[in-house]
Structure 1
């Protein structure tokens, strides 16, 4: 996932002041972050984002203040081996940017449209073509989680998702419930009937739907609309028996003839992380959604053969 969704609030809070953008454009050896990682820095040295595990950011912010003072971009190389023990070098490009850049990126992502950004010696621009010495980042909309439910056990799920920068929504059965429902930071709440669901939340591969109504007939009504629609992930809270009961009903309606429908269906929902507290269950659910949408195995990294991250192309 891109850093950009985490940077928009910082850019708004620092408007109309000047902003510097620091971009990790290349790396040598091992590094905590990958090329395309970004930071925004204000004139006062405050910053948002990270280019390392937290050990380099203050120094980068100080350099960015110099860039703002001089009015000239700067490319720096940080050797992480002598001081931090990480066997690598980071190539970082620091420049001043206009507020219009993050605003335009945010507008595109809000419409759930991707956008391409190029960073090179001349600065960062919105473009689909990059030169040999430039970094091309394809920014895609963040994962979107829509929780269908009105009980408190949905709160920690949306809380974890919001902390990850996901777009969060909650669907209730009755408009009268909206004023009584506490809002998790960043989420939207609305009342929708099952037949109206897909028209309001248009399906895309980065959207996850979680059905948690605790009511069998309501689960069935929403799954009839959601399962065949082509969302990237559909999860159902409940037991295997509940899943089989609902699948039998959906199969009798002819909604399961395409095998990809059941491939996207996760019930019982969540990874096996242990624990039975609502917060632990929420963590297991969000972890599974992250793995599915990212196409990851969700296994132990210590058992992975080869590098943890794919090797980036040199810039």
Structure 2
């Protein structure tokens, strides 16, 4: 989402009376690639670009082709075959061993793909976007788009929109992005169905010294951050630039810090009773991640006291609450601890168990076992217990 944020800001800053622009989107990947489907790059005709579609290998060629798209006003698909390391077409030996399909779209008043990106950027829950990238159907054009939340009044939909709505609904239902071929009496078309997740909303309870690198790193990832403390003296704006600051008593946390669908909470106050009361209130919400800073004994003691108070602590609660917090990377300084915590939160929301990738026996990205195509799997709203090598 940080990449989308940069793209949106660049788009909003573009003076279209002086500049032309295009949007490049990775539609599908077979084999291996640095980026997955859904990766984007915003390009202007003065040679600037924001975001990426690879590790820097394809951007130069995409920039040249994007300029052609800006001039013609016609979207086009571009295929990059990196299977052959000796292929000199791109001028580099990529070594990725994959086939990448990229859709290049001009940004014009009558056909503005960024309008959809702006809508998705403002979402606080999962949404889905459909993009046509190949068509033999007269009613469907390449680069046509639909957002799932737009397709609500079924009685007003065309047959094509009903088809798209059903596909988008299935994508959200299965929490999976991918490509789909649709064939009807008018003709065939192919559509990229993309599940879009909002940025993680991080609630940091405690505004002490060690909260500062945690907030700074989270903001660097493009996450939305709210720092909550009952001591107003801890909430110094210069210590937490761009973060939302909330001062409220521990007993009123649920009134002032309501979790969102993609929220994670970190209890970092170093105050045992504050942490316990905040945790009790958070357990009454559907927040999927609650992390408690401190030794295991502290977490065990809070758990025992909450159970004694009548708080239900079941298997789902165990998966939601994390203590000691973070991934074991040997963290010692506040900055290292922050890195450990954010890595665990990211792994939680990605449905991964973390660990060294060198020991992973399967592919890094999710792939369709039949086609070998890379797809994005979304795990939010589930108590995820990642499988071995997931």
> Which of residues 134, 147, 150 is equivalent to 1:127?
147
Query: Contact 2:2 / 2:221 at 8 angstroms: preserved in 1?
Result: no
Shift of 1:136: 0.7
Query: Contact 2:280 / 2:311 at 8 angstroms: preserved in 1?
Result: yes
Aligned residue for 1:288?
344
Query: Do residues 95 (structure 1) and 105 (structure 2) align?
Result: yes
String of CA shifts for 1:256-293, please: whole Å, max 9, x gaps.
34332232111111111013111111111111111112
Structure 1 distance, partners of 2:42, 2:102, is 13
Aligned residue for 1:49?
51
Query: Do residues 114 (structure 1) and 160 (structure 2) align?
Result: no
Shift of 1:196: 3.4
Shift of 1:2: 8.6
Q: Which residues of structure 2 form unaligned runs of 5+? A: 88-92, 134-141, 149-163, 168-179, 182-189, 375-390
Structure 2 distance, partners of 1:157, 1:304, is 28
Structure 1 range deviating more: 266-275 or 53-62: 53-62
Aligned residue for 1:198?
254
Aligned residue for 1:171?
228
Change (3 A) 1:29 1:245: closer
String of CA shifts for 1:181-225, please: whole Å, max 9, x gaps.
5224x4211213334333444335521100111111211221121
> Which of residues 186, 199, 203 is equivalent to 1:142?
199
Structure 1 distance, partners of 2:260, 2:271, is 26
Of structures 1 and 2, the larger Rg is shown by 2
Give the TM-score taking structure 2 as reference length: 0.73
Question: SS at 2:195's partner residue?
Answer: strand
Structure 2 distance, partners of 1:7, 1:124, is 20
String of CA shifts for 1:113-163, please: whole Å, max 9, x gaps.
322212223215233425611101111212111101111211111222222
> Which of residues 33, 36, 40 is equivalent to 1:34?
36
Structure 2 distance, partners of 1:301, 1:25, is 25
Query: Do residues 161 (structure 1) and 173 (structure 2) align?
Result: no
Query: Contact 1:228 / 1:255 at 8 angstroms: preserved in 2?
Result: no
Q: Which residues of structure 1 form unaligned runs of 5+? A: none
Shift of 1:170: 0.9
Shift of 1:233: 0.6
Change (3 A) 1:15 1:266: farther
Structure 1 range deviating more: 229-238 or 124-133: 124-133
> Which of residues 268, 280, 285 is equivalent to 1:224?
280
> Which of residues 152, 155, 160 is equivalent to 2:209?
152
Shift of 1:43: 2.8
Shift of 1:6: 4.1
Question: SS at 1:123's partner residue?
Answer: coil
Shift of 1:177: 4.3
Aligned residue for 1:233?
289
Q: Give the RMSD, CA atoms, in angstroms.
A: 2.3
Change (3 A) 1:227 1:6: farther
String of CA shifts for 1:84-120, please: whole Å, max 9, x gaps.
122122111100232433322222x2xx132221222
Structure 1 distance, partners of 2:24, 2:204, is 35
Query: Do residues 208 (structure 1) and 223 (structure 2) align?
Result: no
Aligned residue for 2:80?
78
Give the TM-score taking structure 1 as reference length: 0.90
